Amino acid sequence: MRKLKITLIIYLFLSSFNLIAQDSIQVLRVIDRSSFGLGGGLDFGGLGANMLVYPDKNIGVFGGVGYALGGIGYNAGAKIRIISKKHDTDPYALIMYGYNAAIKVTGASQYNKLFYGPSIGFGMDFHSRRKNRGYWSMALLVPIRSSAVNDYMDDLKTNHGVEFKNELLPVAFSFGYRFVLK
């Protein structure tokens, strides 16, 4: 019985030490006020870069520019995040305006065209448990495309003999690494 009590006391002591260690790890996490990202997706303007600044702890504004198959794409918007105190992941939602469809015609670059409009989405920032000056970010985005995109594709098919091997997806994905600046 005495061995059981001693074992129980040691177990509780070690468990509380582990909880204290986890709390101290969370304190070390850097909450960014601005960051620079490299990646791919609408918020990066295609395959490109993105600058994000948080005027408020949970509300940020961003701009991105990159290569988007049919040319140079750009986007600007707002990001609303929920900073988790217990986990290493922060969910977020975003809304933006900029490139949301790219048409690239192989062998006939004069028909390449980017289309611009709003997009909405949600994602997750993945932070490291150790004090780190960067984190991974990924999102699922829904581009709100105008009928001009389908009209242009129909015109290319009908009047220019273009065959499309791929249809435009109704959703887009974003994946990148963010470097914390401040």
| Residues near 109 by beta carbon (within 8 Å), at least 6 away in sequence | none
Half-sphere exposure (CA, 13 Å, Cβ side) for 67? 2
C-beta of residue 143 within 8 angstroms of C-beta of residue 109: no
Residue 28: predicted pLDDT: 58
Q: How far apart are CA 70 and CA 97, in angstroms?
A: 18
pLDDT at residue 1, as a whole number: 54
Identify any residues that bridge with 74 across adjacent strands, giving them in sequence order: 65
pTM for the predicted model, two decimal places: 0.79
- Mean pLDDT by runs of 10 across the 182 residues of the chain is 50 45 51 94 96 96 94 96 89 97 91 96 88 90 96 94 90 96 90
What pLDDT is attached to residue 8? 45
- How confident is the model at residue 3, as a pLDDT? 56
What is residue 165's predicted lDDT score, i.e. its pLDDT? 87
What is the per-residue pLDDT for 141? 97
Residue 87: CB atoms within 10 Å = 11
- Are the C-beta atoms of residues 121 and 142 closer than 8 Å to each other? yes
Domains, the chain, with CATH or none: 31-180 (2.40.160.20)
* Distance of alpha carbon 46 from alpha carbon 99, whole angstroms: 8
The 8-class DSSP code of residue 45 comes to T
